[in-house]
Structure 1
Amino acid sequence: MDGKARIRGNIATYLGLTVVFCLMPYYWCIHTGTLAGGYSPAGFSLMLMWGPALAAFTTCRIRKIPLDELGWNWRPTKYQWLAYGVPILYSAGAYIVIWSTGRGGFYKEEFVAKVAKGFGWSLPDGVVIVLFTLLAGTFGMARSMSSALGEEIGWRGFLTPQLAKLHSYTATSLWMGLVWSLYHYPILLFSNYNLGGSKWFAMACFTVMVFAMCFVLTWLRIKSGSLWTGAVLHASHNLFIQSIFTPLTVDTGSTNYYIDEFGVGVPLATVIVAIYFWRRRHELPEGKIPAPTAVV
């Protein structure tokens, strides 16, 4: 078997196993109509997000691929900081435009009051927002990473390097965008992974965002040689959009069409960032990812 045929076999095995490991969580999410359920408030979604990791580990065992090829090295740390900051940049930019144009309001007093009550604070709303953002953006990353890591071991740890051995950076990013979008469609269309508006509109916005994110994630994975860039970016993205910016936003009538992952704001901002990274594709070694280094 030649090298390319073996790589294609690795990819086919991985994708097949991902479907197998995700079937039961998909069933529960669709049958109950919610991602929250089972043994914890995030039980179904957590099981679904760890399906790609289980598929990666199993594929490595079956295809005799060393686990260190998944990219466990943390350094160079500068790429982890970049991965953390990029989602803040594009999500904050999108929400600032939304708030300033009245497509959504800033800020939801009920949410701030709930946060203040939860912490036992008697502070001005502005101080509560700042303190909550700082705490969520630091300690909250641990919880967000626990779920994002499951997907990223599979998507950026295993699949991206395999695709990069066959394709250019651009083609690898597009293939990853397709796979990652398809992975989300069952819960987007048949469960409650949306804001409650038009599911087809939400799917279109979400797809644009995912494809754009993959250009950033693929660039970081190839440049750094680390799957942790994907885990950090994914966790930061989920945290700031789902736990901070969206809850702070007041619905002014058609706000759902502009906010979160299912409105036009974040996808458009992400496309701008994706174009920036795509223009830096010449910095990447085509078809090659830096060799794994020790975990430090």
Structure 2
Amino acid sequence: MKRREKSIIIFLLLTFALSSICYFVYIFYGETASSITALLMWCPGISAFIIKIIFYRKEKIIKFQRCPIVFILLGIFIPVFYLGISYAIYWLINPFAFTGQIYSTSITFYILAFLSSIITAMGEEIGWRGFLLPKMSEIFHPVPTVIICGLIWAVWHYPLLIAGLYQSGTPLYYQLPVFTLEVILITGTLFYLRMRSHSIWPAILLHASHNYIDQLICAPLTQSDDSAYFAGETGLITVVCIVIIVILLATKSSKNSFISYSNKRY
């Protein structure tokens, strides 16, 4: 077995082994142990660092490097588009669901919350987009790379989804497939940003912006039993919005240049 394939397999085993400890604590103790999700989000990153030490000690495989500002801005504002539009449409359809309530009136709170989102998102992105996605793109073309990495990322969330500790509000027979589809689509967007920018920062910022906008801004402004069917991480309107983004990004890139991202420097 080649070093690359072996490193991918061990990375996945490490990630899910470490994550299982966090799953157990959170599921067993419930919301009182919710803070362990910060450690859970760092399990892919910790695994990636271990893999680097074992297999790629002298190589720079996790690219914390500067990139054109356009990719930074795309990372921050793409979630503003797909989440903002989806929630706005839902509020127009169901105006009584708009509460007008926010977590805090303190600007300091929101600044610190965004910094916290960056730190936790970084843990996942170091693993998923810093290591796994580039290595998988050395083996597969972009479309299967996105699908496989997206499925792995989605399945990694399943224990908390099934336990009702994450994105509850819809039955599992609806929640799991829609969540999986949305994660695969977001992975497509992250693939574009990661491979075009040659940096992990746009992916980190997109992930952080997504969590921040969904959990700290849009969710508190929404109060309805059926909102999860339309907006957020299991929302059909959100899925449509992300499809539009993926189509725009794919259209922007020529077919040959899009495929060739996997063969360029990381």
User: Do they superpose with TM above 0.5?
Assistant: yes
Alignment of 1:36-47 (within 5 A): 37=33, 42-47=34-39
SS class of match (1:146): helix
Unpaired runs of 5+ in structure 1? Answer: 120-131, 292-296
Cα distance in 2 for partners of 1:66, 1:155 equals: 20
* 8 Å Cα contact 1:144/1:239 also seen in 2: yes
Contact persistence 2:117–2:211 (CA under 8 A): yes
Matches within 5 A, 1:126-205: 136=110, 139-205=112-178
Residues 11, 159 of structure 1: 8 Å contact kept:
yes
Match 1:262 to one of 231, 234, 239: 234
Match of 2:182 among 206, 209, 212: 209
Q: Distance in 2 between matches of 1:62 and 1:79?
A: 31
Aligned equivalents of 1:135, 1:83: Cα separation in 2: 22
Equivalent residues of 2:63, 2:198 under 8 A apart: yes
Asked whether the 8 Å contact 1:33–1:190 carries over to 2, the reply is: no
Say whether the 8 Å CA contact 2:161–2:168 is kept in structure 1. no
SS in 1 for 2:199: coil
Residues 196 and 261, structure 2, Cα contact 8 Å, conserved in 1:
no
SS in 2 for 1:32: helix
Cross-structure match for 2:22: 25
Q: Which residue of 2 aligns with 1:218?
A: 191
Aligned to 1:227: 200
**Which range moved further: 195-204 or 277-286?**
277-286
Q: CA deviation at 1:32?
A: 2.2
**Which structure is larger by alpha-carbon Rg, 1 or 2?**
1
Whole-angstrom CA distance in 1 between matches of 2:121 and 2:254: 25
Give the counterpart of 2:79 among 84, 87, 107: 87
SS in 2 for 1:260: coil
Residue type matched to 1:107 in 2?
F
TM-score, length basis structure 2: 0.90
> In structure 1, what residue type is equivalent to 2:99?
K
Percent identical across equivalent pairs?
A: 27
Question: How far has the Cα of 1:274 moved from its partner?
Answer: 1.7
CA RMSD of aligned residues (A): 2.2
- Structure 1 SS opposite 2:104: helix
Aligned residues: 263
| Of 248, 251, 274, the match for 2:246 | 274
1:281 and 1:15 map into 2 onto residues whose CA distance is 32
Q: 1:59 aligns with which of 51, 59, 74?
A: 51
- Structure 1 contact 88–240 (Cα < 8 Å) conserved: yes
User: Following the alignment from structure 1 to structure 2, what is the Cα–Cα distance between the partners of residues 286 and 167?
Assistant: 12
Equivalent residue number for residue 99 of structure 2? 108
1:275 to partner: Cα distance: 2.2
Question: What is the identity, as a one-letter code, of the residue corresponding to 2:93?
Answer: T
CA contact (8 A) 2:229 2:236 kept: yes
1:136-179 per-residue CA deviation (whole Å, 9 max, x = no partner) reads: 3x553211111100000000100011011111111211111111
AA of the residue aligned to 1:72: F
Q: Distance in 2 between matches of 1:149 and 1:289?
A: 23
Which sits farther off after the overlay, 138-147 or 221-230? 138-147
Deviation readout 1:106-137 (Å, 9 max, x if unpaired)? 6314x24x634xx4xxxxxxxxxxxx6x973x
Counterpart of 2:263 in structure 1 is 288
* 2:9 aligned residue: 12
Shift of 1:259: 2.5
Tell me how far 1:26 sits from its aligned partner: 1.1
Shift of 1:207: 0.8
> 1:230 and 1:167 mapped to 2: Cα distance?
20
CA–CA distance in 2 between the matches of 1:254 and 1:164? 38
Gaps of 5+ in 2: none
Question: CA, structure 1 residues 259+179, in 2 after alignment: closer, same or farther (shift >3 Å)?
Answer: same
- Matching residue's letter, 2:19: C
CA distance in 1, matches of 2:254, 2:124: 24
If the length of structure 1 is used for normalisation, what is the TM-score?
A: 0.82
